[in-house]
Amino acid sequence: MSAPTTSAVDRVVTGYLDHLTVERGLAANTISSYRRDLRRYTEFLDAAGVRGLGEVAESDVAGFLAALRQGDDDHPPLSATSAARAVVAVRGLHRFALLDGLVPDDVAHEVRPPSPARRLPKAIPVESVVALIEAAGALEGPRGLRDRALLELLYGTGARISEAVGLAVDDLDRGQSVVRLAGKGGKQRIVPVGSYALRAVEDYLVRARPALAAAGRGGVRGGALFLNARGGSLSRQSAWAILRTAAERAGLTAEVSPHTLRHSFATHLLDGGADVRVVQELLGHASVTTTQVYTLVTVDRLREVYASSHPRALT
């Protein structure tokens, strides 16, 4: 049986998890993660001789975070992301206890979750983008024209794969050389389409899409721009498979992810002198802070060029 001190905390934990499940409607996987994190927290408090949440000090919560990051004989060290999730669970528990009148203070409020290391977006050089697009277009027949048009459009507009496969034919204004993209939350934006992408899409629409549409029963519903071999709308998974296959042909497998062409679009624009707020609008970012991560990439590039080019850059 659990010791009285542990069971007292456990009762609050159970109430908190019930609150998250019933009143907040959190997903089962999230509840399971919180339960696991809070079980470890109660074990930590019990080992420290803490008899209830009312006796917990801010130093105990901070000590728990340190223990998560350091690990012990029974637990490996947690990454910043996993430790942050556990601290969020603990902070929520103490906030819940305060609001329920079970404790006089929220001692976890000032213990901040660790910030995960910022992952810089991976862009590939322009010549690698060209090789990728050429590899996609090397396939004979309508599918090759479609694949080339898809990759040209992804790189030429910075669209997410989900945005590209969601396009209807009417979303592309060939006269104005722009496309209407529906981003996160259904927010729409108008993005210019470059001549290479426009030409590739024109070739696909004239020489390939009619053949793909004919494979469907009664034509394709909704006028989707990109079709699969059965005449239906191309799925996100199929579009990613097209990108991955082209990367294999071009020998770029290790460098390519679903967002590679989007990252390359942004990085190459900034390298070329584009204003970060213009790139923000093109990418559909709600905040310029999200876009500014790309400026870190270009600064790294500037350092490389400086170090290799300036006669007194290196000792």
Catalytic residues: 160, 184, 259, 262, 285, 294
Amino acid identity for residue 32 in this structure:
S
Give the integer Cα–Cα distance in Å for 242 and 289.
31
CA-nearest of 260, 246, 254, 259 to 143 is 246
DSSP labels for 204-272? Answer: HHHHTHHHHHHTSTTS-GGGBSSB-TTSSBPPHHHHHHHHHHHHHHHT-GGG--TTHHHHHHHHHHHHT
Amino acid identity for residue 204 in this structure:
Y
Tell me how many helices (H) and strands (E) the chain has.
Answer: 14, 3
CA-nearest of 148, 266, 275 to 200 is 148
- Give the CA dihedral 229, 233, 239, 240, nearest 10 degrees: -120
